[in-house]
Structure 1
Amino acid sequence: MRRRDFLRTTAAAGAATLLGAPSLAAPSLTDAAAAPRYRVGVCDWMMLKRQKLGAIGLAAEIGADGVEVDMGSLGQRDTFESKLGDPEAREQFLSEAADRGVAICSLAMSGFYAQSFAERPTVPRMVGDCLATMRAMGVRVAFLPLGVQGDLVQRPELRPAVVERLKRFGADAEEAGLVIGVETALDAAGEAELLDEIGSPGVRSYFNFANALQNGRDLHAELRVLGAERICQIHATDEDGVWLENNERVDMPAVKDTLDQMGWSGWLVVERSRDASDARNVGRNFGANVAYLQRVFQGEA
């Protein structure tokens, strides 16, 4: 795809409303008919390249299909420390992605891993800035972790505030044809109940394999309980220690069979699963996990 065609496609994707499609995880940055059913991405902040153009270059070098770009840190700011509010910076990211043939598969609000989505007073500005950036860049999915301070298992009293805010932001996302993918500490049944309470196609589950694996849940059952329509994107990852191909508690070809049977399609994004013996070797760790997922989901395992 030529650069100008890529940029035109991404802009159109951001404006298009795809909520009537069979799967909310359908690819949005390139022609869906030309894209494989499953694509493999990487998180820029976990590759130590948060909001750096080098994340796109590294993703291309290791053969990833896309990058999840973070909105930046929060700390005690009113909103994210993001350079993507600058049109020139956004153009640089889109141009680099086009030149490298790497999609920007999603934007991440990773700051909420440590900050309270339910309690911070300027959350409407934070999420509004993310949605505006998504529209400007033609990115359809945002990742929103509720994190430690928003753990609804440990702090159920936060649920009314979480639901109220996600209803409001979900309506904004739905109007723009966007999806906010939420990661919670709930099991699949609890997360499905939460999503049904929110009741907006603009809010879906950003499923993380690690949540099921680390809590001793049946990964396949959790996926089936949520179902294809509730899952917008997946972090195909586990805690650090070994690469995915050496992880004895997850049978990745079997996971693919489950997702196939569910009729799900979309992005599998690597977050962790680094080799403990060489944890800071970003290229080696992410390259190995990307290559393995592509063999399983795009070829022959």
Structure 2
Amino acid sequence: MKDKRILVDLNNSRRDFIRNSAVLLAGMAFTRKAGHWDTGFSKSEMKVSRYRIGVADLMIYKRQKIGAFELTKRIGAEGVEVDMGGLGDRPTFNSKLADPAVCKAFLDEAEKYGLEICSVAMTGFYAQSFAERPTWQRMIGDCLDTAKRLKVKTTFLPLGITCDLRKYPKLRPAIVTRLKVAGQMAVATGTVIGIETSLDAAGERRLLEEIGSPGIKSYFNFANPVDHQLDICNELKILGKDNICQIHGTNSDGVHLSQDPEVNMPKIKQTLDQMGWSGWLVLQRSRDQKDPKNVLYNFGANSKYMESIFK
């Protein structure tokens, strides 16, 4: 992927203006401290919204790059999903984040821009087989260790093209066995592994029941039900709030979310409200097919639209 043209600067976004104005009107005294504005309140004292909007560093062409935080701030989102790096034929991820010093630098940069690291993603498994790789436990362990260093409670594990349970149902026993162990590993570290599968909601719920671990939940992706001509809201209801740890809140590339007839975002928000779900919605795609590499244009527009719906 290439990190090239950026045409739109959303630094002075409407959201930032409103937030800053509200803070001033409330009488909060800001002081310059450690390179960022300090409200005088700790994070635990600040009110956290029920819904948070994040972006995937991989998809803004900043995979494991510290510049993801500055760019995310310009986009207008609140958090970053940090990727573990590529796999290829390696025994584990090609990750800079195995170094605690690098993790600390990421945390410091997130704090500098008033952002959070919302999750750690193992997107290498989109192309690699979780069911067949011999060193899978090391890979999971490395991800969970990274999540701990980054103070993150959610990780993302896609069962990608080589583990598509619709096409390769014979892999199900191996996947279930491995996810049972992975779930135990996650529980031991106070972490949840969110899986993405090609199954419909009923099938994914049965899979979660078969795994039977509180450490394994669904990382829901709006694009999956759309790809299979299923209703997103019905699928969310079938899965249930307790089975969904996080959401990739975009569709396949083509048009922005605000122009996508297949994603009725107000209805989705109403459904999530009724379910009582709360958490992070992470932007992956829904890029304008006419200009897909323009990061600020695409992610800025989608972040602004999600903000208008969920805030």
Query: Scaled by the length of structure 1, what TM-score is found?
Result: 0.88
SS in 1 for 2:193: strand
Distance in 1 (CA, whole Å) between partners of 2:105 and 2:224 is 35
The corresponding residue for 1:90 is 103
RMSD: 1.5
Amino acid at match of 1:45: L
Match of 1:35 in 2: 48
- Is 1:126 aligned to residue 139 of structure 2? yes
Does 1:75 pair with 2:74?
no
Q: Structure 2 matches for 1:193-208, cutoff 5 A? A: 193-208=206-221
Aligned match for 1:233, one of 232, 240, 246? 246
Distance (Å, rounded) in 2 between the aligned partners of 1:114 and 1:268: 23
Give the aligned length. Answer: 273
1:32/1:135 CA distance change after superposition, 3 Å: farther
Match of 2:124 among 94, 104, 111: 111
- 2:273 matched residue in structure 1: 260
Change in Cα spacing, 1:67 to 1:128, as seen in structure 2 (3 Å) is: same
> Which residue in the other structure is 1:168 paired with?
181
Query: How far 1:175 moved relative to its partner?
Result: 2.0
Instruction: Give the conservation status (yes or no) of the 8 Å contact 2:69–2:109.
Output: yes
Q: Secondary structure at the match of 2:242?
A: coil
Map 1:254-293 to 2 at 5 A: 254-293=267-306
Give the whole-Å Cα distance in 1 for the aligned partners of 2:107 and 2:268.
Answer: 32
> Are 2:58 and 1:45 aligned?
yes
Shift of 1:62: 1.3
SS in 2 for 1:234: strand
**How far did residue 283 of structure 1 move?**
1.0
Q: Distance in 1 between matches of 2:264 and 2:172?
A: 34
Q: Which residue of 2 aligns with 1:159?
A: 172
Residues 256, 288 of structure 2: 8 Å contact kept: yes
Contact 2:251/2:263 (8 A) holds in 1 = no
Structure with bigger gyration radius? 2
Seen in structure 2, the aligned counterparts of structure 1 residues 264 and 33 have a Cα distance that, compared at 3 Å, is farther
Q: Quick one: distance in 2 between partners of 1:121 and 1:153?
A: 23
One-letter amino acid matched to 1:146: L
Q: Secondary structure at the match of 2:238?
A: helix
Tell me the SS of whatever aligns to 1:72: coil
Consecutive unaligned residues in structure 1, runs of 5 or more: 4-28
What is the CA distance between 1:31 and its match in structure 2?
Answer: 3.1
Partner of 1:135: 148
Instruction: Say which of 30, 52, 57 aligns to 2:70.
Output: 57
Q: What secondary structure sits across from 1:46 in the alignment?
A: helix
Look up the SS of the partner of 1:69 in the other structure: strand
Q: Which residue of 1 aligns with 2:224?
A: 211
